[in-house]
Amino acid sequence: MTTPEIARLKGLLADPGTIRAGGVPDGYEAQVLAEILAWQQENAPDRPLVYLARDGQRALDLEQTFPFFAPWAEIEHLPAWDCLP
């Protein structure tokens, strides 16, 4: 089911610039990213999709839940440095 927010986000994706999505409720990141990726594969397959998690646990949670919404997608997890540069 597509919500009005997802429909609006798909409209923003038509812009060739960078899109920053914020304010996604906790636990819904995987669903929103899957919707974006599905739209992107149909309309802009060469455009990269990057998600920055606020911490390592959020990244691991997303890595575990994302395949439920997009089992066909590949995930490349780049862990945070364990020290500041």
Rounded CA-CA distance 29/31 in Å is 6
Tokens linked to 38: 């599905």
Contact 56, 64 (CB under 8 A): no
Rounded CA-CA distance 60/6 in Å is 24
Q: Please check the confidence at residue 43 and state whether its pLDDT lies above 90.
A: no
Q: What is the pLDDT of residue 4?
A: 77
Count the Cβ atoms, other than its own, within 10 Å of residue 60.
13
Q: What is the pLDDT of residue 39?
A: 82
Q: Please check the confidence at residue 68 and state whether its pLDDT lies above 90.
A: yes
- This prediction's pTM: 0.71
What type of residue sits at position 29?
A: E
